[in-house]
Homo-oligomer: A and B are copies of this chain.
Amino acid sequence: MNTYLIHLANKYMNENKRSLESLLKPRSVAVIGASRREGSLGNKIFNNLLESDFKGPVFPINPNADDISSVKAYPSIFDIPEPVDLAVIAVPAEFVLEAAEQCGLKGVKALVVISAGFAENGREGVNRQRDLASICRHHGMRLVGPNCMGVLNTDPNVSLNATFSHVFPPQGDIAMATQSGALGLVILEYARNLNIGLSTFVSVGNKADVSSNDLLEYWRDDPNTSVIMLYLESFGNPKKFARLARSISPSKPIVAVKSGRSPQGSKATASHTGALATADVAVDALFAQTGIIRVDSLEQLFDVSDFLSKQPLPRGNRVAILTNGGGPGALAADACSAAGLELTPLSDETLAGLKALLPVRASLANPIDITDVGASEYRGALSLLASDDNIDAVIVIFIPPVFACPEEVAVVIKDLAPEFRRRGKPMVASFMGQRGCVPGTTLPAGAAGVPSFAFPEAAVYVLARALDYGRQRQKQKGTIPEFPDIDRQKAKEIVDSAPDGWLQPVEVFSLLECYGIKALGIRSAANLEQATAAAQEIGYPVVLKIDSNTIVHKTEAGGIILDIGSPEELQTAYDGLMKRMSIAGFVTGVRGVTVQKMAGEGIELIAGVIHDAIFGQLTLFGLGGIYTELFKDSTVRIQPLTDVDANEMVHSIKAYKLLEGFRGSPPADIQAIEELLLRLSALVEDLPRIQELDLNPVRVFAAGKGYAVVDARILLAGNKQHANSVPESVAG
């Protein structure tokens, strides 16, 4: 990117940020459609703005009322004697365009359109939404929605509740964007019930203008936000999302639920890569590569975000469990074991201290079961654990006792929380059977900055996710290597001159050669004479393969003959192959044969790329041969790959042990495979017409001996470059 482009990008980002401030920190708000009628959205929103004690004037717009909730009403936005930063529109869809146009003329800076009846609602709605967006663009107004539940900012200097939810959540440092307005209502209620503080909340609705990406950009620099929660149903621009997430997640965690896994997964593709790289796998890859914490449910979204907002990240996976009951300790221990958290032995000092402190019936192994004692023993044990260097985090479990006092234990946790924080050790509690609040008291466990869960499994879950996130943050940033030997010019010529469809085998191998990807020598032959000449040139033993644009899986079709050692064998093989193809009815589309050098012994791998309509190019790597399908032992990344990505891909498959040298076999050339993946990444980045690419099998040899691509297929599409993004889907 040249400096001018960087300048433009920065300018855009600054503008985005400034314009979102009019939305989230307006100095004045108008409600178009404010109403006296109880039970109407316009009434609810207007009263919410008053009740949240918004720090600025709120103007109701209603041509049929003089005042609403004792506030002077105006017939139209033009009648308001002052400037208006934000207008909330809650009139029927057919009046929205006119209202928006008037806002534009008045100089309003941002709109929140609550009204439904837009792109979620048929052809007419789609057109209406397009017109609304165009009005906003024309007047330089930002637009949230339409079809959303509003925006909210808990900053006491703003105190904005421009939603129709009756809940104004407590102030906090978690920002949230939701693509489902309905869930927004649940989210706000949940946040208030569990005393989870939010900074800002935006229901993005149909995303006609403001998207999650815009909000990410805003929250990156928002001093009031330290954790970002996303509920996503679709991606508008995954490339931009990835770029933003990469830049934010090292400093502010992003926790996300992505729903709508099921329908996309059924997309039909023609190659093994295509079958293995589904859209949901792509979401996993996108999140993992950019450091986003993916959770499966709203409950986990809250649990993890709450923890990250209150507690430091664990430095390692060594956990101590402190409990007053063996059963819950055992449940927590099982959950730790399943989540990769280790119950380490305590230090000698801690053990000696606990022994002096606790009754003999207590169990000092980890989990520490202090049995039915009271708050002072909890205090003593926690003090010891705070200074024990053998542990990175503590889970405190407390069973509602018959006589002892939960409030006292809650106070102990509150008192000791700062000491744990000072030492960089997270603490998480389970006051069993209770969520959020300590029973019988108004003291919320969370008020001490220590999240508390009804069941110990949830405490373990958040700790494990925080550990993953911490590790991800510490990971080396990768770079995209340059390969000076790549012949881009020739590669472009090959692709430019080819029609849509499967590229001819010889061209496939030429293309790979341009990018320094090593394949076995291959020649095309239209008849037996050409085949014999080719084999002579390459050297025996050779492999003969049918060359056809209709047969996709050659092995199953009996279209491959291996280990041909002489011209005589070649003749027999050629005749047999042609006969078989003719009997099987595969004559149409057969161009002839290819002759290829027979590969040596090695482990068979697969590498490939597909082009996904939403995510762009996805690179896949895995074990090859029949095991590809049998065990689905493969991994996927979004493009482009960094050296760290390539390294992780190779290490993340189960068959990695095989590559390392398994049961006496020599280690494989892992470095060469990583380079192959990086070169493949460069290839598909340069050549967007590649729709699918399948290197299958790739045979990898012993360390230092490299690899050989044995078979390869490339599917081209679209004579023009593919757009990387598609129209946004509509939020539910």
Interface with B: A19-27, A65-73, A291-299, A539-547, which one? A291-299
**Residue A328 contacts which of B186, B402, B558 (CB distance < 8 angstroms)?**
B186
Contact digits for A523-549, partner B, Cβ 8 Å, 1 yes 0 no = 000000000000000000000000000
Per the bound structure, the CA–CA distance linking A182 and B454 in Å amounts to: 14
**Residue A433 contacts which of B189, B333, B403, B556 (CB distance < 8 angstroms)?**
B189
CB contacts (< 8 Å) of A663 on chain B: these are 553, 555-556, 626
| A330 & B260 in contact (Cβ 8 Å cutoff) | yes
Q: Given A297-B457, A331-B259, A433-B193, are A325 and B183 neighbors across the interface (CB < 8 Å)?
A: yes
Interface with B: A115-123, A502-510, A586-594, which one? A115-123
CB contacts (< 8 Å) of A585 on chain B: these are none
Interface with B: A52-60, A310-318, A605-613, A654-662, which one? A654-662
**Residue A333 contacts which of B41, B262, B334, B343 (CB distance < 8 angstroms)?**
B262
Per the bound structure, the CA–CA distance linking A553 and B664 in Å amounts to: 11
| B259 & A630 in contact (Cβ 8 Å cutoff) | no
CB distance from A22 to the nearest CB of B (A): 26
CB contacts (< 8 Å) of A120 on chain B: these are 361
CB contacts (< 8 Å) of A233 on chain B: these are 326-327, 330
Q: Given A455-B297, A630-B654, are A179 and B327 neighbors across the interface (CB < 8 Å)?
A: yes
Q: Given A189-B433, A626-B662, A630-B662, are A732 and B326 neighbors across the interface (CB < 8 Å)?
A: yes
| A732 & B555 in contact (Cβ 8 Å cutoff) | no
| A334 & B261 in contact (Cβ 8 Å cutoff) | yes
Across the interface, name the chain B residue whose C-beta is closest to A655: B630
Q: Given A44-B402, A178-B327, A186-B400, are A298 and B261 neighbors across the interface (CB < 8 Å)?
A: no
CB distance from A363 to the nearest CB of B (A): 8
Is A411 interfacial (CB-CB < 8 Å)?
A: no
Is A185 interfacial (CB-CB < 8 Å)?
A: yes
CB contacts (< 8 Å) of A117 on chain B: these are 361
Is A231 interfacial (CB-CB < 8 Å)?
A: yes
Q: How many residues of A contact B (CB 8 A)?
A: 81
**Residue A180 contacts which of B325, B336, B401 (CB distance < 8 angstroms)?**
B325
CB contacts (< 8 Å) of A655 on chain B: these are 630
Across the interface, name the chain B residue whose C-beta is closest to A631: B631
Is A674 interfacial (CB-CB < 8 Å)?
A: no
Q: Given A180-B326, A260-B330, A658-B626, are A399 and B186 neighbors across the interface (CB < 8 Å)?
A: yes
Contact digits for A151-185, partner B, Cβ 8 Å, 1 yes 0 no = 00000000000001110000000000011111101
Is A514 interfacial (CB-CB < 8 Å)?
A: no
Is A190 interfacial (CB-CB < 8 Å)?
A: yes
Is A324 interfacial (CB-CB < 8 Å)?
A: yes
CB distance from A656 to the nearest CB of B (A): 9
Q: Given A328-B182, A361-B116, are A189 and B400 neighbors across the interface (CB < 8 Å)?
A: yes
Per the bound structure, the CA–CA distance linking A369 and B183 in Å amounts to: 13
CB contacts (< 8 Å) of A111 on chain B: these are none
Q: Given A325-B182, A361-B117, are A297 and B331 neighbors across the interface (CB < 8 Å)?
A: yes
Interface residue ranges of A300-345 to B (CB < 8 Å)? 324-331, 333-338, 343
Per the bound structure, the CA–CA distance linking A432 and B324 in Å amounts to: 32
Is A5 interfacial (CB-CB < 8 Å)?
A: no
| B556 & A664 in contact (Cβ 8 Å cutoff) | yes
Is A500 interfacial (CB-CB < 8 Å)?
A: no
Across the interface, name the chain B residue whose C-beta is closest to A280: B334
Across the interface, name the chain B residue whose C-beta is closest to A164: B402
Interface residue ranges of A256-274 to B (CB < 8 Å)? 257, 259-262, 265
CB contacts (< 8 Å) of A186 on chain B: these are 328, 399-400, 432-433
CB distance from A54 to the nearest CB of B (A): 19
Is A39 interfacial (CB-CB < 8 Å)?
A: yes
Across the interface, name the chain B residue whose C-beta is closest to A231: B327
Is A356 interfacial (CB-CB < 8 Å)?
A: no
Per the bound structure, the CA–CA distance linking A369 and B333 in Å amounts to: 41
| A360 & B185 in contact (Cβ 8 Å cutoff) | no
Q: Given A399-B182, A401-B185, are A329 and B664 neighbors across the interface (CB < 8 Å)?
A: no
Interface residue ranges of A107-163 to B (CB < 8 Å)? 116-117, 120-122
Per the bound structure, the CA–CA distance linking A455 and B657 in Å amounts to: 40
Is A388 interfacial (CB-CB < 8 Å)?
A: no
Interface residue ranges of A353-379 to B (CB < 8 Å)? 360-361, 369
Is A731 interfacial (CB-CB < 8 Å)?
A: yes
Across the interface, name the chain B residue whose C-beta is closest to A359: B121
| B457 & A180 in contact (Cβ 8 Å cutoff) | no
CB distance from A560 to the nearest CB of B (A): 11
Q: A296-B334, A329-B732, A626-B662 are in contact. List 10 more A-B contacts (CB 8 A).
A: A164-B402, A180-B328, A186-B328, A259-B334, A296-B457, A297-B455, A299-B457, A369-B732, A626-B663, A630-B655
Show 12 A/B contacts (Cβ-Cβ < 8 Å), sorted by A. A117-B361, A121-B360, A180-B330, A183-B432, A186-B433, A265-B337, A297-B455, A326-B731, A626-B662, A629-B657, A630-B657, A631-B633
Residues of chain A whose beta carbon lies under 8 Å from any beta carbon of chain B: 39, 41, 44, 116-117, 120-122, 164-166, 178-183, 185-186, 189-190, 193, 231, 233, 257, 259-262, 265, 296-299, 324-331, 333-338, 343, 360-361, 369, 399-403, 432-433, 454-455, 457, 553, 555-556, 558, 626-627, 629-631, 633, 654-655, 657-658, 662-664, 731-732
